[in-house]
Amino acid sequence: MATPYSVIDNSFLNKITDGYLLSIKDGLLQDLIDGYRKAAISKFKQCTKLEDRDDSARLFTQDLTDEEVEIVANLMVLEWLRGKINSVEVLRQKMSTKDYKIFSQSRHLDSLLALRRSTMSEVDALIVSYTYSINSLDDLRKV
């Protein structure tokens, strides 16, 4: 049994709206999504299934649960947001304070930061729930 990368990638793409992603070529888009997925996997250490993967076949060798897919996709959203926030931060550094306050990017950055905080809270809760579900009380009694 296996889970193709496309399952997670599609879940990620359904969570965001980004016209820029629609405008880039398929190969570049896939490279970008691969980068988001790799970064997300490195942050979800509790799921050992993610270590068993075949990058050439573009799949995880084990079946991932819906919960695991959801967590990785949300972590990918955080990686996507990181790029958005960083680009707005660079813009703010290039503009004077007065110009930046007039420019709508200031509100946009505040919105992105709020979205990032709420997504992080959601991911943290999902990971805690996942961790408890894979570590039953019976396992803890054996220690």
DSSP 2: -
Q: Give the chain's mean pLDDT.
A: 84
Q: Hey, where are the domains in the chain?
A: 3-142
- Give the confidence band of 30 by pLDDT, cuts at 50, 70, 90: very high
Contact 127, 44 (CB under 8 A): yes
What pLDDT does residue 87 have? 72
Q: What is the pLDDT of residues 42-71, one digit of tens each?
A: 999 999 999 999 999 999 999 999 999 999
What pLDDT does residue 31 have? 95
Count Cβ neighbours within 10 Å for each residue of 42-53 and write b for 16 or more, e otherwise. eebeebeebeeb
C-alpha distances out from residue 120 to 66, 114, 117, Å: 19, 10, 5
Q: What is the pTM of this model?
A: 0.76
Mean pLDDT over 100-119 rounds to 72
